[in-house]
Chains A and B, each alone.
Chain A
Amino acid sequence: MADPILPPGLNVADFEDALQAFRRIVGRDHVYTGDELSSYVDPYSIAEDPNAHATPAAVAPQSAEEVQAILRAANQHHVPLWPISCGKNHGYGGAAPRMAGTVVLDLNRMNRVLEVNVESGYALVEPGVSYFDLYRHLQEKGLKLWLDVPDAGWGSVVGNALERGVGYTPYGDHFMMQCGMEVVLPSGDIVRTGMGAMPGNNTWQLFKYGYGPYLDGMFSQSNFGVVTKMGVWLMPEPPGYRPYMITFEREEDIEQVVEVLRPLKVNSVIQNAATIRSLVLVACINATKSQYHTGPGPLPDSAAKKLMADQDIGMWNFYGALYGPPPIMDTLWTIIRDSFSTIPGARFFTPEERKRDNDVLKHRALTMRGVPRLTEYSLVNWVGGGGHIGFSPVSPIKGAEALKQYRMVRDRLHEHGFDYMSVFAIGWRELHHVIELVFDRTNPDEARRAREVFAIMVREAAEAGYGEYRTHISFMDQIAKTFSWNNGAQLKLHELLKDALDPNGVLAPGKQGIWPSRYRSR
């Protein structure tokens, strides 16, 4: 085994001292080195330098008190830490740290569901609680509450919300649905946000804002603190549920689909965080590319047509669901159906009308009611030894913008030999255009092309005024620089906050492009 990459400025003896300090806090069994670190790599890395995100150790506390002690030791020994919850941030770096030499602070062992309140519809959880865990907890106790889940059900409820992930029920904006945090600051001090700041208060998980400046946002996609508890709102089980799919035949239909969609979403006729999925992203659940095209380059049009026919899907596939009493669902469905029927070739399906056992609508019918799955990992099968990274520009819910983004991204991907695989996720006022750049991670040339096209897409999206909502650890600096209004005023503010809260720069250096002064000149 090669020598570990140590934290910048530390020698072997310094680092061993730090590990000893961590062992005294969490016990020898919960400080990992050497071969025990295989879980803390980015499985889909496209970094040119294989050590770009290497970690020399991981430490796994079991309580907020242990997190506090670890932060204090990290300050004393100048050891940078990279917090992970369940470590399943695949497509964005997994459990690997931004900066080589950073020790992973693994919160997996903090996996308690601390409270579920059925009457008010919330849970209070620790960061190691996965969607599978919380779902099982609700099922075992027979609680009539639904989760909202992302595609990877083994991810952390806390971690996904902090990364501003999305799901597919009406509670699909995960950060919007969090309420009240407990946070360990880089100094080791601990705070509770919102109403949690008041001793004896009973609305910590009910009223987000508390008194004074609202702080919770500071701890999302940030390196300002380690969230050790978080409230999450859960959806009362509705009296009725009807998932549906609408398919559209032509590439250019995306423009009209989004135009039809906007008023339906803004007026809450579309109740959930619905999605429009591209042909290949849907097809890859049941097919691999080699079954349709074995040559180089993207899928030819003729193969795309065959794929559509074989799987009875569209070039675009809209997945939504109705929730509530039957008369309300009937009314909403009439409006939705009439609206999308204006698009030539639109076809409407319920799960019962789909023939395949593993049909995507049957799968989405589960995720749109909060059942955690791992089905979407099928996308890595499209090219065999697949890896993927997410490119996720945001736009208004406007047809022309969706079509422009689609063409821009599709053309670049095709030029570099990749297929276009995406989902347009519908937010309250915006579209998240999440492009899955799927490549063969066993093929160095494909990884190189993925790296190149990703950098081009970021630059061109920014030139067109599109920013990303989230990104892979290898591109955090590049994305941060695209938010450059007023000479980078926002990043400067982030750095000001970082230096005030974390003068030794121990917490997640480089996260989201925010570097502490200690490493800023590197």
Chain B
Amino acid sequence: MLNDSVSRRRFVRGVLGAAASLRVAGLAAGAEGRSAPPRRTFFDARFPRAAGLASRLASDGVLEPIGGDPTELVLWVASQALQDPRIAGVTTGSVPFVLQQLRLPGRLTVERIDRDLFVWALV
């Protein structure tokens, strides 16, 4: 069980591999010491790799499958108003794209990890 930010960062780094930046992995895992891990982590259920990565990013948080349609996520985010924004995901690009457009409070960091998938974190 990973229960501190340093080991979590190391773990995420290993999970994501060289293709993903440490910056994103660290943010997603709350590794900078300024934020807790994501309370909700989304993954694109069409891609087995996404599920694997997301389950590790999620730590103790909630893990939720989504597809390429960002509508429900955006509506959910909007319903959260200014409450705790800590979410992360391993999804296709449409999801972080619409989140970028929403001018949400917090900082969204995005990195592409293969042809289809992006890892992202809002902290």
* Chain A interfacial positions (CB closer than 8 Å to B): 39, 43, 88, 132, 153-154, 284-288, 290, 294, 358, 363, 373-375, 377-378, 380-381, 384-386, 442
B93 contacts chain A at the CB level, 8 A cutoff: yes
B7 is an interface residue with CB less than 8 A from chain A: no
Report the tally of A-B residue pairs with Cβ distances under 8 A. 68
State which of B33-41, B52-60, B63-71 sits at the interface with chain A.
B63-71
**Least CB separation from A381: chain B residue:** B92
Residue B10 at the A interface, CB < 8 A?
Answer: no
Instruction: List, in ascending order, chain A residues with CB within 8 A of B67's CB.
Output: 286, 358, 378
Which residue of chain B has its CB nearest to the CB of A108? B103
Q: Flag if A381 contacts B94 (CB, 8 Å).
A: yes
Contacts A43-B97, A381-B92, A384-B92 known; 15 new A-B pairs at CB < 8 A: A39-B101, A88-B101, A286-B46, A286-B68, A288-B115, A363-B69, A374-B98, A375-B69, A375-B71, A377-B94, A377-B97, A378-B68, A378-B94, A384-B93, A384-B116
**Closest CB-CB distance, B76 to chain A, in whole Å?**
12
- Bitwise, B90-123 to A at CB < 8 A (1) or not (0) is 0011100110110100000000101110000000
Give 7 nearest A-B pairs by CB, closest first. Answer: A378-B68, A381-B92, A377-B94, A374-B71, A375-B69, A384-B115, A381-B68
Name the residue on A nearest B114 (C-beta).
A384
Q: Is the CB of B69 within 8 A of A385?
A: no
In whole angstroms, what is the CA distance A285 to B71 when docked? 12
> Which residues of chain A are near B114, meaning CB under 8 Å?
384
> Which residues of chain B are within 8 angstroms of A373 by Cβ–Cβ distance?
69, 71
Cβ contacts under 8 Å, A375 to chain B: 69, 71
Given A39-B101, A442-B112, the answer on whether A374 and B69 have CB atoms closer than 8 Å is yes
Docked complex Cα distance between A378 and B71 (Å): 10
Contacts of B2 in A (CB 8 A): none
B62 within 8 A of A: no
**A378/B69 in contact, CB under 8 A:** yes
Q: How far is the CB of B79 from chain A (nearest CB, A)?
A: 11
Q: Give the Cβ gap from B20 to chain A, nearest Cβ, in Å.
A: 14
Distance, CA A294 to CA B114, complexed state (A): 12
- The answer to whether A288 touches B116 (Cβ under 8 A) is yes
CA distance A13 to B46 in the complex (A): 54
Instruction: Tell me the B residues contacting A by CB distance below 8 Å.
Output: 46, 67-71, 74-75, 78, 92-94, 97-98, 100-101, 103, 112, 114-116
A363→B72 CA distance, assembly (Å): 12
Query: Of B78, B93, B100, B101, which one neighbours A381 at CB under 8 angstroms?
Result: B93
Distance A288 CA – B91 CA, assembled complex (angstroms):
12
Find B93's partner among A287, A294, A363, A385 (CB 8 Å cutoff).
A385
A284: chain B residues at CB < 8 Å are 68
Give bound CA distance, A381 to B91, whole Å: 10
Report how far A442 CA is from B71 CA in the complex, Å: 24
CA–CA, A154 and B78, complex, Å: 12
Q: Which of B46, B74, B98, B112 contacts A385 (CB 8 A)?
A: B112
Say how far A420's CB is from chain B's closest CB, in angstroms.
20
* Distance A373 CA – B72 CA, assembled complex (angstroms): 9
Q: Known contacts A286-B67, A374-B74: does B116 contact A380 (CB below 8 Å)?
A: no
Q: Tell me which of A153, A154, A384 contacts B112 (CB under 8 A).
A: A384
Query: Within the assembled complex, what's the spacing in Å between the Cα atoms of A23 and B70?
Result: 36
23 of the cross-chain contacts (CB-CB < 8 Å) are A39-B101, A39-B103, A88-B101, A132-B78, A284-B68, A288-B68, A288-B116, A290-B115, A294-B115, A373-B71, A374-B69, A374-B70, A375-B71, A377-B69, A377-B94, A378-B67, A378-B70, A378-B94, A380-B97, A384-B92, A384-B93, A384-B116, A442-B112
* Least CB distance, B42 to chain A, in whole angstroms: 14
- Complex formed: what's the CA distance from A284 to B75 in Å? 22
Which residues from A are CB-within-8-Å of B101?
Answer: 39, 43, 88, 154
Q: Is the CB of B94 within 8 A of A380?
A: yes
A60: shortest Cβ distance to chain B, in Å? 12
Bound-state Cα–Cα, A153 to B112, Å: 26
Question: Whole-angstrom distance between the alpha carbons of A39 and B108 in the complex?
Answer: 13
| Residues of chain A lying within 8 A (CB to CB) of residue B116 | 288, 290, 381, 384
A67 to chain B, nearest CB (A): 21
Contact of A285 among B69, B78, B115 (CB under 8 A): B69
Are A288 and B92 also in contact (CB < 8 A) when A374-B69, A384-B112, A385-B112 are? Answer: yes
Return the chain B residue nearest A440 by Cβ: B115
Bound CA span A385–B46, Å: 17
With a cutoff of 8 Å between Cβ atoms, the chain B residues found around residue A88 in the complex are: 101
Q: Tell me the complex Cα distance, A298–B28, Å.
A: 35
Q: How far is the CB of A350 from chain B (nearest CB, A)?
A: 21
Chain B CB within 10 A, most for which of A43, A377, A385, A386: A377
Task: Give the CA-CA distance A294 to B115 in the complex, in Å.
Answer: 9
Residues of B within 8 A of A286 (CB): 46, 67-68
Complex Cα gap A414–B100 (Å): 31
A512 to chain B, nearest CB (A): 24
A377 touches B70 (CB 8 A): yes
- Give the complex CA separation of A288 and B112 in angstroms: 15
Contact status B98-A377, CB under 8 Å = yes
List of B residues within 8 angstroms of A378 by Cβ: 67-70, 92, 94
Complex Cα–Cα for A284 and B74 (A)? 19
How distant is the Cα of A183 from the Cα of B98 in the complex, in angstroms? 31
